[in-house]
Amino acid sequence: MLFNSLTFAAFLAVVLPVYHALPRRGQNVFLVGASYLFYGWWDWRFLSLLWVSTAVDYWAANRIAATSDPKKRNFALGVSLVTNLGILGFFKYFNFFVDTANASLEALGVPFNTSLLYIVLPVGISFYTFQTLAYTIDTWRGRQTPTADPVAFALYVAYFPQLVAGPIERAKHLLPQLEQDRVLTPQFLRTGITLILIGLFKKVGLADGVAPFVDEVFGEIGAFSSSSVLCATLLFCIQIYGDFSGYSDIARGTSRLLGIDLMVNFRQPYLAQNIAELWRRWHISLSTWFADYVYIPLGGSKRGPVRNAFNLVGMFALSGLWHGAAWNFVLWATLNGVCLLLFRYWSELPRNEGVEVAPFSLRWFAGNFATLTVFVLTALMFRSDGLAGVWTGYMALLLNPWWLGIEHVYVYATLAYGIPMVALDLWQYRSGEEEPMLASGRVFQGVLLGCAMIWVLVMGGVDLDVPFIYFQF
């Protein structure tokens, strides 16, 4: 069930009035059922995996909190880790590791051929697995008091607005809201509807609109001029940002209509003036998850420069593997980790320490340009089909003459879709609000909404029914 579908609109039209007519306990039970229906709409068989994660982590967290015996606490945590990571590893990485082993041994001349399995990746498994793991680990660390309400915990795991593509919520933020009475305030109603509309504009009007251009070039990337490859990569950056941040906006808006607040997952990352700031603004829930549960436990930056470099780049490499079971994702993330490490060394030089960069100053623009250059050039790896696709893409970008056969349609598309995306981000960035249009007059809001609807109908992908990119992760 896609957020950008009439099916979801009908689903929400039924869920909202019934939900608000019930008392809190009834609301939670009803939302659990609605969330299971929402998730089972793709494939009801994978509900069993969701139920296993829910049952195991509910038991493990309460078992950890009920005893002070380190062995029993570690055993319960181990059950949670093995179960959740085992399920994730099998469904997402089994074929990847088998294929890698086959290729490695074949290169060494060792006869070895293990057949691959036809495994369908359950939607959202990477997201809800990390969310439940965070709950159990925080309980083991003494930072989270587990809930005694199994319905509230089941809802925390399966809450449909953010179930399949985040944001990855922490229990300390979401769970207390599920355990208390909720009222739909006028502010939540206005901001919720506005966030949904912003998200649909990003998804349908921008991401789905550029998808055909991106698919055309990357489908046979070696045949296009370097200028077309560059434009297609820029268009992909528009696509993935519009797609994923659009999903997060719709998720947050839908949740607000239920009286529940979700964390902000994107804060105009393309306006960052350095690579560290970009990753603080991009997919915030995942970045903070890896920092809290991978980088810091490995020692963070407190064990010397060599260990810090290993921890930082290693964390990024793992995040690349989280994005997809392919080496191009690992390479993409590792290079971004190296760039972030180099920026840290540069920012710690005496002449750069403590220097404040004013927004929209010359130095700010220079930093923004350098940051986006790194992001765009590595984004080609993200979009490519495996390492072979990465090689072909960069060869086309570097060697195919840009002045021969410039396909102007890609240049026009880059400008046409890039300008409204940047304009919206600048408006949000300057105002400090995710819904800055609400501060405007009603007439201006009406005109803006009308223009956005026309844009979506004319320039968007309303007839494409394109799934959200991050559903595959």
Rounded to whole angstroms, how far apart are CA atoms 76 and 63? 7
Which token pair is 286? 């995942």
The identity of residue 11, as a single letter, is F
- Asked if 167 and 262 count as a contact pair (C-beta separation under 8 A), the reply is yes
Local structure of 92: helix, strand or coil: helix
- Looking at residue 79, the DSSP 8-state letter turns out to be H
Other C-beta atoms closer than 10 Å to the C-beta of 173 total: 12
Rounded to whole angstroms, how far apart are CA atoms 394 and 377? 9
- Asked if 12 and 31 count as a contact pair (C-beta separation under 8 A), the reply is no
* pLDDT value, residue 358: 82
Helix 386-399 vs helix 362-383: angle between axes, to the nearest 10 degrees? 130
Assess whether the previous peptide bond of 167 is cis (omega < 30° from 0). yes
* pLDDT value, residue 84: 94
* Dihedral over Cα of 165, 168, 169, 171: its sign: positive
The pLDDT tens digits along the chain (473 residues) read: 788 888 899 999 999 999 999 998 899 999 999 999 999 988 888 899 999 999 999 999 999 999 999 999 999 999 999 999 999 988 888 777 777 666 666 666 666 666 655 667 788 899 999 999 999 999 999 999 999 999 999 999 999 999 988 899 999 999 999 999 888 899 999 999 999 999 999 999 999 999 999 999 999 988 888 889 999 999 999 999 999 999 999 999 999 999 999 999 999 999 999 999 999 999 999 999 999 999 998 887 777 788 888 999 999 999 998 888 888 999 999 999 999 999 988 887 777 666 777 888 898 999 999 999 999 999 999 999 888 999 999 998 888 776 556 678 888 999 999 999 999 999 999 998 888 888 888 888 888 888 888 888 878 777 666 777 777 66
- Looking at residue 302, the DSSP 8-state letter turns out to be S
- Asked if 364 and 351 count as a contact pair (C-beta separation under 8 A), the reply is no
Other C-beta atoms closer than 10 Å to the C-beta of 269 total: 20
Which residue, among 263, 240, 285, has the nearest Cα to 468 in the 3D structure?
240
- Asked if 219 and 126 count as a contact pair (C-beta separation under 8 A), the reply is no
* pLDDT value, residue 109: 67
| Residues involved in catalysis | 323
* pLDDT value, residue 116: 56
* pLDDT value, residue 90: 86
- Looking at residue 109, the DSSP 8-state letter turns out to be T
